[in-house]
Structure 1
Amino acid sequence: MRQFTAVVNPAAGSSSGTAALLPVARLLREAGAGLDTRYSRSLDHARELALQAASQGRVVLAVGGDGMAGAVGGVLSGTDAVLGLVPSGRGNDFARALALPTDPAALSELLLGAEPRAVDTIRVDSAVHDGVSVLGSVYAGVDAVANRYANQSRLLRGAASYYAGGARAVAGWRPAAYRITVDGGEARELRGYTVVAANSGFYGFGRRVAPDARVDDGLLDVVVIRHAPKRLFFTMMNELKTGAHMGRPQVEVLRGKEIRIEADRGLPYGADGEVDATLPVTVRVQPGALHVLR
């Protein structure tokens, strides 16, 4: 029977990580599994707790949103540790990409019985991040600004915070001149709203930014949204919910294993829902680097 350590972010999203964990924990224990619960003070502390649990051969449960999943999964990338997710954040986009059940009974059954499967991760290198691994995507531009606003929101939660943050970000946006290099080839220069290097197809609370991205194909899908009138970009924001934006001429998709993103100014970039750095950044896929219960 598996032994679990749950690393909990108590403040994840609109409901506490503890509340999300309780029904799953009860079912795991009733089935005979061992479960320890550790509460993190920060993402760095969560990484420390995850490594401690993994060193004891325990399955590490990341309880929270994409930031917690990315922090815990990132630090376990490249190890033999096994990760499980108990989503309880605003977006839960990596859990969505893995098609994890939301029902506690179905999720506990998966955690107890599923075999670990290898998924890719992303290595991030910049002035702030030196070899940090994340799970879902790295995005540079208006969406990073929008996500920063959403994370700062105290009045709005869930999808509402992303919509409000997006509207505020687009209203104050001026086009950026990007320079994108894929796998060391010739640099592409363009003006646009964002560049997203995606391992997962989802970001920003369920938006299908890269519908063809797969977490286990050894490649990153690089979605570029070029300059367009702001009214059209608002339309594309709605189209992100279904992936319909992919039919727009302003949207281009590149694929590769290593992506360098630069811009004409210090644009923010985000990774797994967290925004704390600015361009330039280099991202590299790490094929099959993480073992996940899915």
Structure 2
Amino acid sequence: MTSEITLLVNPSAGRGRGARAAEPAVRVLRAAGLDVRTVVGADADDALARARAAVATGTRAVVALGGDGMVSLALQAVAGTGTPLGVVAVGTGNDFARVNGLPVRDPAAAASVVAQALGEDRTRLLDLGRVGPGPDGDRWFGTVLASGFDSRVNDRGNRMRFPGGRFRYDVAMLAELAALRPIPYRVSFDDAAEREMEVTLIAVGNGSSYGGGMRICADAVMDDGLFDVCVVGPCSRTTLLRVFPLVYSGTHPSHPVVTVHRAARVRLTAAGVTGYADGEPIGPLPLTARTVPGALRLLV
């Protein structure tokens, strides 16, 4: 193992915050005596290949600078390897950092946490989810695997070219609300028999939140070996609009339309539904998610 750490940078994260955040983060890391190699991939595939090469050659740590998308990419390189992950969260949602009590949109403070953790060899061992099969095989995730209404909003938003920015997802949500219908699912938890159910959405949580603080799996713990699975049953547009604001406080499980299950393995089957993990598209259902205890060493 070398003394060099790898800083994986998404320069466009948080509407350009990534590019601005790299300089103060590098300054703090180098002031702590760390040898920093900055990696900016030509695209996601190139960045991942470079991160995996760094892990293979013994980098001391990989530090993801960006939002949840960059953390997700870094997880594909470090999960199960023993190479620790640091996070400098400067994206839009930053759910992975928030769940783990790391600084958000303060690159100097986040880099200081990384430097101190490396100096003291201080890491937290976390579970990760592994989901597949997607078109590129199984994929690691840290926070939530989403499917149903919310993934259809993502699908629609990703297809839209106007309006720009996050506003297009607000428009996509309104369009999906207008078309709201229960979705027939087949679901199995661990070794239990498959169930048929009609649902609005199912979220499989290794972590508690997604979408920039929506606590969809509010009681999920990242080191207990289990997912929290939030199922929102069939509901009207009016009911969904009543339940939706409760997600930010994590009180939505008190509503009769919501049930929560705990399992180490979940299989989801539904026609015309895409799964998204850590906000990234995985592929169409059916998908199987399983917990992998202790798959990540996080610098904290």
The TM-score with structure 1 as length reference comes to: 0.92
Q: Offset of 1:104 from its aligned partner? A: 3.1
Tell me, in whole angstroms, the C-alpha distance in 1 between the residues paired with 2:194 and 2:282. 25
The AA in structure 1 aligned to 2:19 is: T
Write the letter of the residue equivalent to 2:115: L
1:34 matched to 2:35: yes
Deviations 1:38-78 (A, max 9, x none): 11233222221211222332311112221221121133111
Question: Shift of the alpha carbon at 1:253?
Answer: 0.6
How many residues are treated as equivalent by the alignment?
Answer: 292
Question: Post-superposition shift, 1:37?
Answer: 1.0
Question: Residue type of the partner of 2:140?
Answer: S
Superposed CA offset, 1:73-129 (max 9, x none):
133111011111111222111111111112334312210112121111111122525
2:207 corresponds in structure 1 to 200
Unaligned runs of 5+ in 2: none
Partner of 2:61: 59
Change (3 A) 1:129 1:188: farther
Give the one of 79, 82, 85 matched to 2:81.
Answer: 79
Kindly provide the CA deviation profile for residues 189-247 of structure 1, in whole angstroms up to 9, marking residues without a partner as x: 21111111110100011100011001111111111000111121122221111112111
Q: Pick the aligned partner of 1:273 from 270, 279, 286.
A: 279
User: Match of 1:242?
Assistant: 249
Seen in structure 2, the aligned counterparts of structure 1 residues 2 and 232 have a Cα distance that, compared at 3 Å, is: farther
User: C-alpha displacement at 1:24, in angstroms?
Assistant: 1.5
**Counterpart residue number, 1:107:** 110
Q: TM-score, normalised by structure 2?
A: 0.90
- Name 1:233's counterpart in structure 2: 240
Q: CA RMSD in A?
A: 2.0
Which secondary structure state, in structure 1, belongs to the residue aligned with residue 102 of structure 2? coil
Partner of 1:284: 290
Q: Distance in 2 between matches of 1:287 and 1:189?
A: 29
Question: Whole-Å Cα distance in 1 between the matches of residues 260 and 244 of structure 2?
Answer: 17
The 3 A distance-change label for structure 1 pair 171 and 40 is farther
Q: CA deviation at 1:280?
A: 0.5
Unaligned runs of 5+ in 1: none
Residue 171, structure 1, aligned to residue 178, structure 2: yes
Q: Secondary structure at the match of 2:13?
A: coil
Separation of aligned partners in 2, 1:282 and 1:147: 20
